[in-house]
Amino acid sequence: MMKNSLFTTSILVAATTAAGFFGCSSSPGTSTSGSSSSSGGGIETGSSGGGSGSSGGSSGAGQTADAAACMPPSSLPSTNFPQYATVAPMANACNSMQITGFISACVAQGATGMNCASWANANSTCAGCIVQGTDAGATETGAILFDANGKPVSGNVPGCVAIADPTNGPACAAQLEPLMQCVAVACGMCTDQASFSSCEQAARASGGVCGSLSSAAKMPCAGDMGSNGVGLTKCGYGTQNELQDVINVICGTGP
């Protein structure tokens, strides 16, 4: 089942700014709220990430040209697909007000680097869970995923799934993360939802650059990423609440 899975610019801005909590320079950025909707899809729809410079939900005359220009490459080095790293949940590191505050300061339309840094300074424990480790969170153990170059990809849906379903989730997460990372890289040039969706379909198709990863994820993720699975019900996969739900599972009250 199809799902609009382009991660909007606002999420990317938020995670980039969050990386600044740990020593990177933080510059003000404009963000757009975009739209990301779900039809309750299963693993057929795959990743939840767009590449840098993505923006969600745009429409207009340029969309056809964007879709035509936005096609996945025929191959990508496997080093572009970071593997799943076991998430280290920090129960109650963030309360609901702090999660809302993070999204307001770092994600919502009008968020700036200055506001996000101020929030982080006042909420260091919560910020330290959202972006764990060093080198822009490259350990992949917090609530934000980063690509092989240290750029934010999405909320840590694989980690959320592993925590929300401790029986089957880790096996799904191990296959889901490289798939998400592959689609994010393959379709990172897409500038609107329609072009990203077309690119994702092509990348995930049999013979596509992410096709083998998509096939590998189908069986272990069939339950968790189905319409009633924890990917949607606990982690908000593909919905407007995805990042909030992921942070709550990894850094808040849990699943």
pLDDT confidence tier of residue 172, bands split at 50, 70 and 90: very high
CA distance 158 to 36: 18
* Structure-token pair, residue 35: 């739209």
pLDDT at 133: 60
Q: Which amino acid is at 55?
A: S
Q: Strands (DSSP E) along the chain, which ranges? A: 144-146, 152-155
205-248: pLDDT as tens digits: 999 999 999 999 999 999 999 889 999 999 988 788 888 999 99
pLDDT higher than threshold 90 for residue 141: no
Query: Is the distance from CB of 51 to CB of 189 less than 8 angstroms?
Result: yes
When mean pLDDT is compared across 64-78, 120-134, 178-192, the lowest value belongs to 64-78
pLDDT mean over 55-60? 38
19 or 146, which is more confident?
146
pLDDT higher than threshold 50 for residue 204: yes
Q: Could you tell me where the DSSP H helices lie in 58-130?
A: 62-69, 96-106, 113-122, 124-130
Judged by DSSP in three states, 246 sits in helix
180 or 7, which is more confident?
180
State in Å, rounded, how far the first CA of the chain is from the last one.
Answer: 25
pLDDT at 66: 52
pLDDT at 74: 84
- Positive or negative, the CA dihedral 170, 176, 178, 180 is negative
80-105: pLDDT as tens digits: 788 888 888 999 999 999 999 988 88
16-45: pLDDT as tens digits: 444 444 333 233 233 333 333 333 333 333
pLDDT mean over 48-56? 37
Q: pTM for this one?
A: 0.74
161 or 132, which is more confident?
161
175-188 exposure pattern, b = at least 16 Cβ within 10 A, e = fewer:
bbbbbbbbbbbbbb
